Amino acid sequence: MVTSSASSLILFCLTVSLLLLLLPLPSHCADPDPLLDLCVANLTASTSSSYFPCKLPSEVTADDFVFDGLSKQGNVTNLFGVAVTTGNVLSFPGLNTLGLSMNRVDFGPGGINPPHSHPRASEIGIVIEGTILSGIVTTKNVYYGKVATAGQVFAVPRGLVHFELNLGQTKALFFTAFNSHLPGSTVLPLSLFAAAPSIPMEVLTKTYLVDEDAINAMKSKFVF
């Protein structure tokens, strides 16, 4: 004979088991599985979610799944001596909902991809040409740096500040891939000294422990 307390325990166990079966695992919550074979981005439509609305199937063409932008060398005649060519959903609509994108990064001699972060993606890169110092900084301010040459691969965890520096006196090139169709990029010097509207002067002087002349000197370097 089953007692009342035993029945309650059995019911509790069954309820918990059912909930565990019904609730999605954490790994499934970050990015829902696509419900369609394809969803080519309609870039002219407004969006309020992580994805662009899909083009009508009748409007989809083979060109939506091919992007040649990464085959072209970027112009490195700029302040940092670097050119980042993005192959994300904004330039490659076929990536919509796929959780994938790529960048091409060209360096002039001594060029730098300055400290930056990608808020929505982890990154993996492969050096094609040159000698590149790749560095990351953790949230505990621990720095990890490694020199990479052609054929070597480096990884950057999502959201961490990182950089790449061309150590050579000739051009360098690497390609990166992301687990997001729009990883985003926050470039620290531009965010701090070239924001519009500007970050209040008092914030910058107190952050860097310098006077206004020093901040204005920094800002003058980022007038484009």
pLDDT digits (tens, 9 = 90+) for 160-181: 999 999 999 999 999 999 999 9
Mean pLDDT to the nearest integer, 80-93: 97
pLDDT band of 4, cuts 50, 70, 90: low
Q: Is 164 annotated as a binding residue?
A: no
Residue 5, pLDDT > 60, answer no
Dist. CA 83–CA 80, nearest whole Å: 9
Residue 221, pLDDT > 90, answer yes
**Strand 153-156 to strand 82-87: parallel, antiparallel, or no bridges (unpaired)?**
unpaired
Residues in the chain: 224
Q: Is 166 annotated as a binding residue?
A: no
Is 105:84 a contact under the CB 8 Å cutoff?
Answer: yes
Q: Which residue has the higher pLDDT, 223 or 20?
A: 223
Q: What domains lie within the chain, and their CATH numbers?
A: 62-184 (2.60.120.10), 186-223 (no CATH)
**What would the pLDDT profile of 196-212 be if each residue is shown by its tens digit?**
999 999 999 999 999 99
Residue 133, pLDDT > 50, answer yes
Q: Is 179 annotated as a binding residue?
A: no
Which of 100, 154, 159 is CA-nearest to residue 126? 154
CA 9-15-17 angle, 5° bins? 105
Q: Is 118 annotated as a binding residue?
A: yes
Mean pLDDT to the nearest integer, 127-154: 97
Dist. CA 64–CA 103, nearest whole Å: 18
pLDDT at 83: 98
Residue 129, pLDDT > 50, answer yes
